[in-house]
């Protein structure tokens, strides 16, 4: 990886790019994922490369929703694995959630490499290598799912998601949480909870929140979920962008 000096003003952004480029070289991420990363980074500039108050509220609601779920699952694609494998596994283990590899540009080699990476980071319940069901309404490889994982999950965290799969999961009756820096995307507009934040900030935040909220009752967690309104969170995210541009 390129030697990036820590005092560089773009250090964290450049480091993220390097991690994803390495993910492509290692066969974890796809080349198309680099384009998606660039698009997300543009929106990150617009929100000021920070976790906003509205994003923090969404992260809190997301954690509460996952804690209340009977079968919570974290769906992982190549970019998510390349950027946040350790945090994904920490969150899954903290929430006693399963992790399932699901790829748009799927090859069995990539699935195996991502699964191996996640296992090396301590993931326990891990699915995706032997899918046995198809998500209704979807074609292509991304329709593949596992009976014990995404297919029967009642709450699914899908960082860096594509819009029509998010919509299909919602139509199946699932609560869907997405991490998406673009508040206008179809994923963001369709999800039950949209976290407008960078995955490299959102997942560590959620791990900390999950640890903090462990002692809450189901009633307290339910109140957090009920008080959250995704349309308001998306409107607040747009306001955050406008306010940042005025500075």
pTM of the full structure: 0.92
CATH topology of domain 53-246: Rossmann fold (3.40.50)
User: Under a CB-based contact definition with an 8 Å cutoff, are residues 186 and 168 in contact?
Assistant: no
* pLDDT tens, per residue, the chain with 247 residues: 567 777 766 667 777 888 888 877 888 887 776 767 767 788 998 999 999 999 999 999 999 999 999 999 999 998 899 999 999 999 999 999 999 999 888 889 999 999 999 999 999 899 999 999 999 988 877 789 999 999 999 999 998 767 788 999 999 999 999 999 999 999 999 999 999 999 999 999 999 999 999 999 999 999 999 999 999 999 999 999 999 988 7
The helix or strand, by DSSP H or E, that contains position 155, with its residue range, turns out to be strand 155-159
Using only the alpha carbons of the chain, give its radius of gyration: 17
User: Under a CB-based contact definition with an 8 Å cutoff, are residues 173 and 151 in contact?
Assistant: no
> Distance between CA 183 and CA 192 in Å, rounded?
13
What's the per-residue H, E or C state across the chain?
CCCCCCCCCCHHHHHHHHHHHHHHHCCCCCHHHHHHHHHHHHHHHHHCCCCCHHHHHHHHHHHHHHHHCCCEEEEECHHHHHHHHHHHHHHHHHHCCEEEECCCCCCHHHHHHHHHHHHHCCCCCEECCCCCEECCCCCCHHHEECCCCHHHCCEEEEECCCHHHHHHHHHCCCEEEEECCCCCCHHHHHCCEEECCCHHHHHHHHHHHHHHCCCCCHHHHHHHHHHCCHHHHHHHHHHHHHHHHHC
């Amino acid at each position: 990886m390129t030697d990036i000096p820590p005092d560089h003003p773009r250090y964290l952004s450049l480091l993220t790019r390097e991690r994803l480029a390495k993910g492509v070289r290692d066969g974890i991420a796809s080349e198309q994922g680099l384009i998606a990363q660039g698009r997300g980074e543009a929106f990150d500039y617009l929100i000021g490369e920070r976790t906003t108050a509205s994003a923090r509220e969404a992260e809190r609601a997301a954690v509460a929703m996952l804690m209340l779920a009977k079968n919570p699952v974290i769906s992982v694609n190549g970019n998510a694995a390349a950027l946040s494998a350790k945090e994904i596994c920490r969150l899954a283990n903290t929430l006693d959630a399963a992790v399932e590899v699901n790829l748009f540009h799927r090859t069995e080699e990539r699935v195996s490499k991502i699964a191996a990476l996640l296992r090396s980071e301590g993931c326990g319940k891990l699915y995706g290598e032997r899918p046995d069901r198809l998500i209704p309404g979807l074609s292509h490889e991304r329709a593949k799912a596992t009976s014990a994982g995404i297919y029967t999950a009642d709450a699914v965290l899908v960082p860096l998601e594509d819009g029509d799969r998010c919509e299909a999961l919602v139509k199946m009756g699932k609560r869907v949480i997405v991490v998406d820096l673009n508040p206008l995307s179809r994923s963001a507009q369709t999800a039950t909870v949209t976290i407008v934040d960078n995955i490299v900030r959102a997942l560590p935040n959620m791990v900390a929140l999950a640890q903090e909220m462990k002692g809450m009752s189901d009633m307290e967690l339910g109140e957090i979920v009920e008080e959250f309104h995704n349309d308001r969170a998306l409107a607040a995210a747009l306001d955050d962008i406008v306010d940042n541009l005025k500075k």
